[in-house]
Amino acid sequence: MLLVAVLAIAGIVTFRQLAAAAPPDNPAQPPGHDAAAVADGIVNDDDGMLPDGATVFDGDLPGVANLSPGLRDALQRASQDAAAGGVIIHVNSGWRSAEYQDRLVQEAVSQYGSVEEAARWVASAATSAHVSGEAVDVGSYDAVDWLTQHGAGYGLCQTYGNEAWHFELRAIASGQACPRPFSDPTQDPRMQ
């Protein structure tokens, strides 16, 4: 009986360690996102942090207001059409201040154990499309799926294969197909 209890506890500990090390499969919670930054008060709404349930129509929030006009317009049009089909596109992250982005990089390095591995998930403030207002992270699964299927018609494309929730405006895609996503940010020439 004692052996069974010990094995069960070891299994739970191992599962939690593996789950913590694995990249998230929930587009609503990208890696290195929000929890610690909120807890210690380093970043706030003025830095682009968005509350749960935010949409591209929440123009009073800096994380939405500071998106590039073209991206905001395309996402608003897509959101209206998605809503007509019963899908709500939430913006989990949009524009971010450089300070917020730096904080996310620090959290990712801590989570993944190296700058190199963190770079697969979080760009530097100098290269991030979020800091320039050119990217959004969307949620729920339905929203990601809807944009994956219909986003090219609005010029909205997934940029990275490992970040299904991350979309950018690609004018070349408007009404056609999106370019093939990079496997992760380290493969994107803009990040070099």
Instruction: Say if CB 78 and CB 154 are below 8 A apart.
Output: yes
Enumerate the domain spans of the chain.
Answer: 25-191
Whether the pLDDT of residue 5 is over 50: the answer is no
Q: What is the pLDDT of residue 21?
A: 36
Whether the pLDDT of residue 115 is over 90: the answer is yes
For every residue of the chain, which 3-state class applies, written as one string? CHHHHHHHHHHHHHHHHHHHHCCCCCCCCCCCCCHHHHHHCCCCHHHCCCCCCCCCCCCCCHHHHCCCHHHHHHHHHHHHHHHHCCCCCEEEECCCCHHHHHHHHHHHHHHHCCHHHHCCCCCCCCCCCCCCCCEEEEECHHHHHHHHHHHHHHCEEECECCCCCEEEECHHHCCCCCCCCECCHHHCHHHC
CA 93/CA 71 separation, integer angstroms = 13
Q: What is the pLDDT of residue 41?
A: 57
Looking at the domain that runs over 25-191, which CATH code has it been given?
A: 3.30.1380.10
Whether the pLDDT of residue 9 is over 70: the answer is no
Whether the pLDDT of residue 184 is over 70: the answer is yes
The whole-number average pLDDT for the span 111-137 is 97
For the stretch 34-91, pLDDT in tens is 444 444 557 889 999 999 999 999 999 999 999 999 999 999 999 999 999 999 999 9
Whether the pLDDT of residue 151 is over 80: the answer is yes
Q: What is the percent of the chain with per-residue pLDDT over 90, rounded to a whole number? A: 71
Q: Mean pLDDT across the chain, nearest whole number?
A: 83
**Between residues 33 and 87, the one the model is more confident about:** 87
Q: Give the predicted TM-score (pTM) of the model.
A: 0.79
Whether the pLDDT of residue 165 is over 70: the answer is yes
Whether the pLDDT of residue 32 is over 50: the answer is no
